[in-house]
C-alpha cells in the first residue's frame, strides 16, 4: 500500500485505466482544428526506466494559440500555466483511473485577471472538448480551485534576454539527468495571430528519477510540478526576468505530501537557476 515504504511494483494491468483515459484525451485534441498537441509525458514509465517506481500518470500538453496569446498579452506570467494540460492518472486512494486539470479560476486567481475579453468561455469550451467521452465520475477536481501568486519565484537577470536563455539552457544541460520536453516561443506564436507581445519563452524539462520519487505518493503533481516549466520573459522596461513554480506551493495547493524528494528538487532548481544568472 502507498505510505508504507512506497508504491507497490508496477504491473502491466496497472496502466490500463490511465492509458485508456489518456487515449481519449489525445484523440479529442487530435480531432480539434483549434488545438495542437505539444507533447505527452508519461511520468510513470519514464520514472520506471530511471529506477523510480510511481503510479500511472501521463500528462497531455496541448495548445490553443488564440487563448494563450491573449492571456500572455494580459500578463506574461500566465505562460507558466501554458500550454494547457490535462493529466490521466491512477488515484492513490483506490487505484481507479482519473483525469484532472486546472479550472480557469486557478489562472484567474493566481494572476489577478479581471478584464477577460471572453477568455473564460473560450477556456471552458476548450476543456469541455478535450474531456468529451470521459465519465464525469472519473474527473477529479482539487478541493481548492484558487492559487496565490506567492507560489511563483521570479529572478531578475543581469543579462539580456537571449544571453539569459543561453545561460539557463547551458546550466540545465549540465545536469546529467536532464530530459527536454520542449521550448515554446510565445512571442512567435502570438505574432502568427497578429498579436504583439514581448519576448516570452517557456523551457520544459525534467529529471525522471527524482521526479518519479517525488510523485510516488502524489501523482497529481504530474499536472503542475512536473515537468519543470521555466519562463524567461522581458518586462516593460526591457529587462529579462526568469519565473518558475515553487514546488512546495504546488504541493500545498493540491494537499499532497511535500516529500524529501520534492524538497530536494525544489532546492536544486533554485540553485541551478540562480547560478546561471550570476
Cβ contact 233:197 at 8 Å: no
Q: Indicate which CATH number applies to the domain containing 63.
A: 3.30.310.70
3 within domain boundaries: no
Report yes or no on 4 lying in a domain.
no
Q: What is the per-residue pLDDT for 53? A: 93
Question: Residue 176's CB: how many other CB atoms inside 10 A?
Answer: 6
Measured CA distances, 193 to 43, 87, 187, 197 (Å):
33, 28, 10, 11
CB atoms within 10 A of CB 18: 25
Residue 137: helix, strand or coil by DSSP? helix
Determine, yes or no, domain membership for 94: yes
pLDDT of residue 102: 96
| Residues of the chain with confidence (pLDDT) below 50 | 1-6
Please check whether residue 2 lies inside any domain of the structure: no
Angle, vertex CA 139, rays to CA 136 and CA 142, nearest 5: 135
Q: Is residue 192 part of a domain?
A: yes
pLDDT of residue 12: 81
Q: Are 186 and 21 in contact (CB under 8 A)?
A: no
pLDDT for 8: 62
Question: Dihedral angle at the C-alpha atoms of 177, 178, 181, 182, nearest 10 degrees?
Answer: -170
Number of domains in the chain: 1
The domain containing residue 69 runs over which residues? 12-276
In a domain, 1, yes or no: no
How far apart (Å, rounded) are the C-alpha atoms in residues 197 and 21? 36
Site of grid cell 512567435: 188
Residue 6 lies in a domain: no
Strand (E) or helix (H) holding 183? strand 179-185
At 105, list the grid cell: 479560476
- Note the pTM of the prediction, 2 decimals: 0.93
Amino acid at each position: 500500500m502507498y505510505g508504507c515504504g512506497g508504491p507497490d511494483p508496477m504491473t502491466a494491468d496497472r496502466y490500463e485505466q490511465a492509458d485508456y483515459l489518456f487515449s481519449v484525451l489525445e484523440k479529442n485534441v487530435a480531432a480539434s482544428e483549434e488545438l495542437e498537441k505539444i507533447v505527452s509525458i508519461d511520468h510513470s514509465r519514464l520514472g520506471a526506466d530511471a529506477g523510480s517506481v510511481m503510479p500511472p500518470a501521463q500528462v497531455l500538453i496541448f495548445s490553443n494559440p488564440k487563448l494563450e496569446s491573449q492571456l500572455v498579452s494580459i500578463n506574461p506570467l500566465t505562460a507558466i500555466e501554458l500550454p494547457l494540460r490535462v493529466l490521466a492518472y491512477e488515484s492513490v486512494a483506490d487505484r481507479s483511473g482519473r483525469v484532472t486539470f486546472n479550472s480557469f479560476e486557478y489562472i484567474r486567481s493566481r494572476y489577478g485577471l479581471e478584464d477577460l475579453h471572453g477568455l473564460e468561455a473560450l477556456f471552458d469550451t476548450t476543456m469541455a472538448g478535450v474531456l468529451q467521452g470521459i465519465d464525469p465520475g472519473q474527473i477529479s477536481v482539487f478541493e481548492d480551485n484558487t492559487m496565490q501568486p506567492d507560489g511563483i519565484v521570479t529572478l531578475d537577470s543581469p543579462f539580456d534576454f537571449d544571453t539569459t536563455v543561453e545561460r539557463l539552457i547551458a546550466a540545465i544541460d549540465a545536469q546529467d539527468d536532464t530530459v527536454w520536453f520542449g521550448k515554446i516561443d510565445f512571442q512567435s506564436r502570438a505574432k502568427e495571430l497578429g498579436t504583439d507581445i514581448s519576448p516570452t519563452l517557456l523551457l520544459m524539462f525534467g529529471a525522471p528519477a527524482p521526479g518519479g520519487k517525488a510523485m510516488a505518493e502524489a501523482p497529481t503533481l504530474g499536472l503542475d510540478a512536473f515537468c519543470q516549466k521555466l519562463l524567461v520573459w522581458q518586462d516593460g522596461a526591457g529587462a529579462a526576468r526568469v519565473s518558475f513554480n515553487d514546488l512546495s506551493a504546488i504541493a500545498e495547493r493540491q494537499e499532497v505530501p511535500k516529500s524529501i524528494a520534492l524538497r530536494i528538487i525544489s532546492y536544486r532548481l533554485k540553485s541551478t537557476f540562480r547560478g546561471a544568472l550570476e
